[in-house]
Amino acid sequence: MNKHPDYLLNRVKSPADVKKLSLSQMEKLAQEIRTLILEKDAAMGGHLGPDLGIVEATIAYHYVFNAPKDKIIWDVSHQTYPHKMLTGRADAWLDPDKYGDVTPYSNPNESPYDYYTIGHTSTSIALATGMAKARDLMGGHENIMALIGDGSMTGGLAYEGLNNAAIEKHNLVVVVNDNQMAIDHNVGGLVTALKKLRESNGQTKENPFTAMGFDYRYVADGNDIKSMIDAFKAVKDVDHPILLHINTLKGKGYQPAIEHEEAHHWVMPFDLKTDQPLAPAPTGPNANSVAMDVMKEHIQNNEKIMAINAAIPGVFGLDEIKEKYPNNYQDVGIAEQESVAFAAGMAKEGAIPVLFENSTFLQRAFDQLSHDVAANDLPVVMMIAGGGISSESKTHIGVFDQVMVSNLPNWIYLAPTSLAEEKAMMEWAIKQRKHPVAIKMPVQPVPTKGGQVANDYSRIQYQIKPGKDIAVLALGDFYASLGKKVATKLGATLVNPISANILDQAALDRLAQTNKVIITLEDNILDGGFGEKVASYLGGKDVKVLNYGQSRVYTDEVPVTKIYQQNHLTVDQIIDDIQNL
């Protein structure tokens, strides 16, 4: 039921209704939107600070421009809650029963006011430049805008975009939403450049944007609706590329989000009165705490080790290392290419770089994983979070890192089945100074103990629990959650294959001789995965091989249980398959 039937927002069915509002009504609307963001985020979790900061700019945009003909590309699109509220989707904030009705990112299946499914950073300028070029080719005249900021400017593609946008011949506006933050505090030379611009009210000649040829404009208070309306009116229909730099306050309207910006970039459900999360903090060891303990042990042991990440310390709980051991901590900004090449440089000099990467964002660094690390066979250690089948948005699913990394030469890709195994693998990866090693941190719960706890993973030797007729090779976190159960029910042999890309061929030969069927299970897509390698290796032998994993599709906020069901990743379905073979 609508919680705020009195809100002005109820009368805004589309941007046309925004255009009818007075300035004071728009200011009231901004307050309502802010309250709604906070209420829904408190109940459901979601992006918080970025959305609170962009409310006024969004209202002004829809007041001035004529969407969807005029087009705005929201970089990352994690700041589109206000935009969604103004483009016919307000019910998903007004009515708690409808909280789940819209997706957290821009979504063309949801609205004609959204043009792309976007969730990764730094793409908006390039997308907008392509759209502007297509418009020109097709004889159109609409306004095209990219709105980028909140750290996205540290990614290389943002710069490639600027480099190309600057020389376009017709209308194209790049809005730099400068809130002085990445996901974590912004880092790097661009911080310096933006600071000089802010402090000179946009007047300094030391301006990287005018240097590139942009017509540059500055708005000192990007949270003032009137200023933003004036700024947008001034750039509308202008026939050349413009860079509009707006200074906004991330988290505006919610003091805790202003004071602790990183913790409020994205939030889990929380209590609006106390700002405390509703769910208790996890206790006991987990995949993160194991990795942090290993790091601390080596740092305290005075080893030349460095925890490297790309603006996501919170994903791993790296904050303690960041604070206590700043010499052993490096945040390169949202710039995964840099993180991996930087790690290659450190490894070459004999230091021990440990990368902490998120599976989906690591996609930006494929060439560095290959060209800089693998082709030079440098001993970089890489801990990967979020790798596996999940209910994430389609832009954030983590099923491609294994494909990228494990099919490259020289990389050793390990998948622990327990926390003890994760620790042993990480210790070995740090100690050996020969090859790059990736460790897929479990995303499903795994036991604390057990697994292949070895001193040396340079030669993969399968750990085998013997059974009869059928062998189940269950990789990583599928070992305990699925493989063990399937093997028990079938009385089958259970195997921990340890690595996604290095096969224990001798063990496979023996298994092929003593079994009729070999099953592989992996928490990943099948294409380019572990199972296909086993099927290929055993292709010439007299044994059947069945590969289980996710099919090659994008899932989009689909519950994992449903994805499992669709891909026969349940005990009963697998047993059925075997019986019907």
User: How far apart are CB 337 and a copy of itself at their closest, in Å?
Assistant: 4
Tokens of 118: 């976007």
Residue 216 binds a copy of itself, judged by CB under 8 A: no
How many other C-beta atoms lie within 10 A of the C-beta of residue 350? 9
Residue 206 binds a copy of itself, judged by CB under 8 A: yes
Residue 348 binds a copy of itself, judged by CB under 8 A: yes
Segment 526-545, which members bind a copy of itself (CB under 8 A)? 526-528, 531-533, 535-536, 538-541, 544-545
Find out whether 394 and 556 touch, Cβ atoms under 8 Å: yes
Please count the residues of this chain forming the interface with a copy of itself, following the rule CB under 8 A.
118
Residue 451 binds a copy of itself, judged by CB under 8 A: no
Answer whether the bond into residue 104 is a cis peptide, omega within 30°. Answer: no
User: How far apart are CB 301 and a copy of itself at their closest, in Å?
Assistant: 14
Segment 350-379, which members bind a copy of itself (CB under 8 A)? 350-351, 353, 363-364, 366-368, 370-372, 374-376
Beta carbon nearer to a copy of itself, 227 or 359: 359
Residue 327 binds a copy of itself, judged by CB under 8 A: yes
Applying CB under 8 A, among 48, 55, 225, 403 the residue interacting with a copy of itself is 403
User: How far apart are CB 355 and a copy of itself at their closest, in Å?
Assistant: 11
List, as one string, the DSSP characters of 227-281. HHHHHHHHHTT-SSEEEEEEE--TTTT-HHHHHSTGGGTEE-SB-TTT--BSSPP
Segment 129-158, which members bind a copy of itself (CB under 8 A)? 129-135, 137-138, 154-158
- What is the distance between the alpha carbons of residues 161 and 497, in angstroms, rounded to a whole number? 43
- Angle subtended by helix axes 419-431 and 287-300, to nearest 10: 30
Beta carbon nearer to a copy of itself, 149 or 251: 149
Tokens of 160: 């490639």
Beta carbon nearer to a copy of itself, 338 or 477: 338
Listed ranges 119-127, 448-456, 463-471, 566-574: which one lies at the site for a copy of itself (CB under 8 A): 119-127
- What is the distance between the alpha carbons of residues 446 and 427, in angstroms, rounded to a whole number? 19
Applying CB under 8 A, among 96, 314, 317, 345 the residue interacting with a copy of itself is 345
C-alpha 212: how far from chain center: 30
Residue 189 binds a copy of itself, judged by CB under 8 A: yes
- Angle subtended by helix axes 23-44 and 225-235, to nearest 10: 110
Applying CB under 8 A, among 99, 159, 266, 325 the residue interacting with a copy of itself is 159
- Angle subtended by helix axes 124-138 and 156-165, to nearest 10: 30
Tokens of 563: 């994805």
How many other C-beta atoms lie within 10 A of the C-beta of residue 460? 18
Residue 123 binds a copy of itself, judged by CB under 8 A: yes
Beta carbon nearer to a copy of itself, 157 or 291: 157
Residue 309 binds a copy of itself, judged by CB under 8 A: no
C-alpha 333: how far from chain center: 14
